[in-house]
């Protein structure tokens, strides 16, 4: 999925008032995480691609497109300290995927998602009407740094720096191609 937004969508994002509700979905997966964790910037839960995206008081920023490696940021509420403890226990950065969609692609009513929480209660989530249109996607992000306090968890997200990769990937060396170096 390209990181280019269509002009009408970009105009609605930049408008001071619009009828479209922007929904940013953050999916966290990686070593030590059995089931992907989903977080969205809404107050209700959303179901998408088999993952429940939990509504949190979250600020999620899209990737920058400057002349440097892409960067983003997220701020999650650390109300009961669970998120902060989770981030501190990570030994390696998980893989993160950031998606932008319109909340109008989901039903307004909360329905049973078929999953239960730790207390045995059913998790209610908004279900998609059809396949939601993803306007923007940034995949293969990682946590570059994290600042944790009693109120929030601030994470700087980064992508791979492709400008630091050697090019060409395969080099002509005497060990690899001895016939060239006679």
**Mean pLDDT estimate for the chain:** 84
Angstrom distance (rounded) from CA 111 to CA 46: 10
- Tally Cβ neighbours within 10 Å of residue 7: 8
Could you tell me the residue ranges of all domains in the chain? 7-162
Residue 2 has pLDDT above 60, yes or no: no
Residue 3 has a pLDDT of 57
Fold classification of 7-162 is Pnp Oxidase; Chain A (2.30.110)
Residue 59 has a pLDDT of 83
Q: Which residue has the higher pLDDT, 123 or 168?
A: 123
Q: What digits encode the pLDDT tens for the residues 32-45?
A: 788 898 999 888 99
Residue 17 has a pLDDT of 75
Q: What is the pTM of this model?
A: 0.78
Q: What digits encode the pLDDT tens for the residues 3-12?
A: 567 777 777 7
């Amino acid at each position: 999925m390209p990181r280019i937004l269509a002009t009408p969508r970009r105009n609605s994002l930049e408008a001071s008032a619009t009828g479209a509700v922007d929904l940013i979905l953050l999916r966290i997966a990686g070593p030590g995480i059995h089931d992907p964790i989903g977080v969205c910037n809404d107050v209700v839960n959303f179901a998408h691609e088999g993952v429940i995206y939990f509504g949190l008081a979250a600020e999620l920023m899209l990737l920058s497109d400057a002349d440097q490696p892409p960067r983003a940021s997220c701020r999650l509420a650390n109300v009961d300290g669970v998120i902060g403890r989770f981030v501190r226990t990570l030994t390696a950065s998980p893989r993160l995927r950031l998606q932008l969609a319109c909340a109008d692609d989901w039903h307004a009513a909360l329905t049973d998602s078929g999953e239960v929480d730790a207390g045995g209660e059913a998790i209610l989530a908004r279900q998609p009407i059809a396949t939601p249109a993803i306007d923007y996607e940034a995949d293969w992000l990682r946590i570059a740094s994290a600042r944790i306090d009693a109120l929030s968890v601030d994470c700087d997200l980064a992508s791979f720096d492709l400008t630091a990769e050697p090019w060409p990937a395969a080099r002509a060396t005497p060990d690899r191609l001895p016939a060239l170096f006679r």
